[in-house]
Copies of this chain bind each other. A is one copy, B any other.
C-alpha cells in the first residue's frame, strides 16, 4: 500500500423518511439559503414540498434557483453566483442529483472568490480557498458528489466539461433518502449504476500498485452488488431495499475510500466520457459504458499485470476466468440494463467519433493523461462493441 490522507467530514443521514430533516440540519448554520434544483421534477414527486416545509418550519429563509441542466453549465453557475451575492445567503441547499449538487459547489466556491469561477476549473492552477457551507438532498444516485469534494461543470463556450476536487467542497451534510429514487426512470437508473461502477474501476485498474487486496475487495463487493440489483430497480422502481443498497453503494464508490492507499491513479474512462457529454450532451453514465467497452479490451492487452487485473475483476464480479469472458459479460450486463456500448447507439457517426477523439486530446493534459491523443483515442473508440 502507498501513503494517503483520508478525510471525509460529510455527515450522511440515510434512510426512508429523512428528507424532511433538511430544516433541522441547516438551521444551526444558516438563516437564509440558496435553494438550488434542476428541471422541476421535485415539484411533481413531493420532494420540493417536503424540503421547503421543513426549511420554513426550522425558520430558514430560502431563495429559489432552478433550471440546473444534466451537465450543469457555467453560465448558469455564474448567474447563481450573482444571485447569491445579491441575496446574501449563508449556505447552499442543493436538492437534486449530481448535477445540482455540483453546480451548488461551484456557486459556493465562486461566491467567496475574487476570480471568475471558471478559473478553478480551467487548469490555470487557481485553487478553491473557501466556500459557503453546502447541504444536499440527493434525488438521483450516481456521481458520489454528496460525499466528496468534487464538482464537474461544462463550459458551453469552450465545449469543455471539467472536474475539480477541493477539501472545501465536501457537503456539511447530505440526506440520502432512497424513496427519492423511486421516480428515477430505468435509463437514468442504469446510467447511475454505470457511473458508480466506473468510479470504482478507474482506480481499481489504473492504480500504481498492482494488487491491494483490501481495496480491491472493497471495490469488487460494491460492483458485484450493483450489477445484481440494477435490473431489480428498473423492473420494480419502488423496491426500497434495492434503491437503498444502490444509494449507499454509489456514495461509497466515490467518497475517497476506494483509492486510499492504491498509489497514483487516473480516470481515463471519465476523460473519454466527458468529451462525449460536452459535444453530444450524452448522459454521463451512457458515455462511460461506451468508454469502458472500448478501453477495457485495450487495457487488458497492455501487460500481463493488466490482464490479471481484468481476470481478477471478472472472477470476483461475474464468476468467469478469462479476459474475453470478462469483457463479454461486462458488455452483456451493460446491454441488459440498456446502457449503450457503442457510439452508434447514441447516434454518433464516424465524423463524430473523430470529433470526440480530438476533444479528448484537448482535455487530456488537464487529466494528467497526455498519452490520450486523438489518434490513440480514435483507436480506443473503434474497439467499442
Contacts and interface: CB of A to CB of B under 8 A. Distances in A.
Interface string A203-219: 00000000011100110
Interface string A89-117: 00000000000000000000000000000
B5 A13 contact: yes
A5 B1 contact: no
A319 interface: no
A3 interface: yes
Given A218-B218, A221-B220, A260-B14, A248 B1 contact: yes
A241 interface: yes
B3 A12 contact: no
Contact of A225 (B13, B17, B178, B213): B213
Contacts of A1: 14-15, 178, 241, 244-245, 248
A244 B213 CA distance: 11
Interface in A214-270: 214, 217-218, 220-222, 224-225, 228, 241, 244-245, 248-249, 252, 260-261
Contacts of A225: 213-214, 217
A209 to B, nearest CB: 9
B214 A222 contact: yes
A213 B213 CA distance: 19
A16 interface: yes
Interface in A1-44: 1-18
Interface string A180-222: 0000000000000000000000000000000011100110111
Interface of A is mostly: mixed
A100 to B, nearest CB: 22
A214 B245 contact: yes
A245 B261 CA distance: 9
A274 to B, nearest CB: 27
A228 B217 CA distance: 13
Closest 7 A/B residue pairs (Cβ): A3-B15, A217-B221, A7-B11, A1-B244, A9-B9, A6-B12, A214-B225
Interface of A: 1-18, 178, 212-214, 217-218, 220-222, 224-225, 228, 241, 244-245, 248-249, 252, 260-261
17 contacts: A1-B244, A2-B15, A3-B14, A3-B18, A5-B12, A5-B14, A6-B11, A6-B12, A7-B9, A7-B11, A9-B9, A14-B260, A14-B261, A213-B245, A214-B221, A214-B248, A217-B224
Given A4-B15, A213-B221, A217-B221, 15 more contacts: A1-B245, A3-B17, A4-B12, A4-B14, A5-B12, A5-B14, A7-B11, A9-B9, A212-B245, A214-B248, A214-B252, A217-B225, A218-B218, A218-B221, A221-B221
